[in-house]
């Protein structure tokens, strides 16, 4: 090795050490005392760590052979910076909070209100408001900023417009609670062609109308790209038109609801569009992986833009 090359390598190494030290100091200063630093591990060991797109593992659908807490550990080992799950009721919240704090992994979101009873029926609104209050408390325990709500299945004798009006009324009642707690409700629009026949909210148009009429910074859309592809297509165009109301993104490929690269959606292009629009929050991987390691590699490829 020439002396010039040797000096160049030593200078580069020294610069990297200084930059790494500065980044660590900055990260330490911006984390709260209750948010411990994640363990230092290499990207080779944790392939999803440090990607431009920050993926959240849906642990209801991933690592299904493991116990619930072990799924969080597996997600962390793969490099996921966050996890998400369905209803928080009957989950070990204290254990989840302790483990995610220990690992330095976040809870991106969970389900606060599901399909039934529908909030598209006004008789359920008092119960909905009470559950949002309780869910905000659960979110604070988990250091979680967002929670999914679902509109409900079709109500006999009601038009879709009427059902959506009832969803607006329910969310307007709950929004001040979410604003007080600093926890965002994210309203998920489904699809009725494949997964959720008889559901009252699908595609972006209805969800945009609801959230724009609620007009709260704590009531936005859980924009599930899988459901949107089945319901309306033109993923990049619709994201651009509705970006002001996107609170969270989820993905799966179609058909099959599996990881990117197994179906018709070109996720590198779609995720680049989201990034270019300014989206920096987690992207929930609510998909059924064909095989965990292959699915992780597919996510790495999907974020290569």
State the average pLDDT over residues 184-188.
Answer: 99
State the average pLDDT over residues 280-303.
Answer: 97
Q: What proportion of the chain, given as a percentage, has pLDDT over 90? A: 85
Considering the domain architecture, whether residues 2 and 64 belong to the same structural domain is answered as no
Considering the domain architecture, whether residues 165 and 88 belong to the same structural domain is answered as yes
pLDDT of residue 12: 39
Interacting residues of 43 by C-beta distance below 8 A, sequence separation 6+: 49, 50, 79
pLDDT of residue 241: 98
State how many domains the chain has. Answer: 2
The Cα–Cα gap between 59 and 83 comes to 7
Q: Quick check: 255 and 263 in contact, CB under 8 A?
A: yes
pLDDT of residue 44: 64
Considering the domain architecture, whether residues 140 and 23 belong to the same structural domain is answered as no
Farthest-apart Cα atoms in the chain, separation: 84
The Cα–Cα gap between 100 and 76 comes to 9
Considering the domain architecture, whether residues 223 and 135 belong to the same structural domain is answered as yes
Residue 175 is assigned to a structural domain of this protein: yes
Q: What proportion of the chain, given as a percentage, has pLDDT over 70? A: 86
| pLDDT above 60 (res 11) | no
Cα 91 to the center of its chain, rounded Å: 18
pLDDT of residue 43: 56
Cα 238 to the center of its chain, rounded Å: 18
| pLDDT above 80 (res 9) | no
Would you give the DSSP letter of residue 254? T
pLDDT band at 17 (very low <50, low <70, confident <90, very high): very low
pLDDT in tens, 44-84: 689 999 999 999 999 999 999 999 999 999 999 999 999 99
Considering the domain architecture, whether residues 144 and 212 belong to the same structural domain is answered as yes
Considering the domain architecture, whether residues 26 and 171 belong to the same structural domain is answered as no
Can you list the alpha helix ranges (DSSP code H) found in 31-91?
68-78
Helix 235-242, helix 204-214: angle, nearest 10: 10
| pLDDT above 70 (res 18) | no
pLDDT in tens, 80-106: 999 999 999 999 999 999 999 999 999
Domain that holds residue 3: 1-32
Considering the domain architecture, whether residues 96 and 54 belong to the same structural domain is answered as yes
Residue 280 is assigned to a structural domain of this protein: yes
pLDDT band at 121 (very low <50, low <70, confident <90, very high): very high
CA distances from 93 to 53, 113, 134 (A): 27, 17, 13
CA-CA-CA-CA torsion sign (238, 243, 246, 251):
positive
State the average pLDDT over residues 145-161.
Answer: 98
Considering the domain architecture, whether residues 61 and 15 belong to the same structural domain is answered as no
């Amino acid at each position: 090795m020439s002396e010039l090359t040797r000096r160049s390598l030593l200078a580069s190494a020294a610069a990297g050490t200084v930059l790494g030290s500065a980044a660590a100091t900055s990260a330490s200063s911006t984390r709260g005392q209750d948010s411990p630093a994640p363990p230092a591990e290499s990207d080779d060991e944790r392939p999803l760590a440090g990607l431009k797109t920050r993926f959240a593992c849906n642990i209801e659908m991933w690592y299904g052979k493991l116990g619930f807490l072990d799924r969080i550990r597996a997600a962390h080992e793969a490099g996921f910076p966050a996890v998400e799950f369905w209803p928080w009721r009957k989950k070990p919240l204290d254990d989840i909070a302790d483990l995610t704090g220990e690992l330095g992994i976040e809870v991106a979101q969970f389900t606060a209100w599901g399909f039934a009873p529908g909030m598209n029926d006004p008789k359920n609104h008092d119960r909905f408001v009470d559950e949002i209050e309780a869910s905000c408390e659960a979110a604070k325990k988990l250091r979680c900023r967002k929670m999914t709500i679902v509109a409900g299945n079709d109500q006999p004798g009601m038009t879709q417009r009427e059902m959506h009006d009832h969803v607006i009324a329910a969310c307007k009642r709950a929004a001040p609670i979410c604003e007080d707690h600093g926890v965002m409700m994210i309203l998920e629009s489904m699809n009725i062609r494949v997964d959720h026949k008889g559901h009252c909210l699908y595609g972006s148009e209805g969800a945009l109308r609801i959230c724009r009429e609620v007009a709260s910074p704590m009531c936005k859309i859980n924009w599930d790209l899988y459901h949107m592809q089945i319901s309306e297509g033109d993923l990049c165009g619709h994201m651009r038109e509705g970006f002001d109301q996107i609170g969270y993104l989820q993905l799966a490929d179609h058909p099959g609801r599996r990881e990117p690269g197994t179906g018709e959606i070109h996720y590198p292009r779609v995720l680049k569009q989201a990034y270019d629009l300014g989206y920096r929050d987690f992207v929930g991987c609510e998909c059924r992986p064909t095989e965990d390691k292959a699915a992780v590699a597919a996510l790495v490829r999907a974020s290569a833009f």
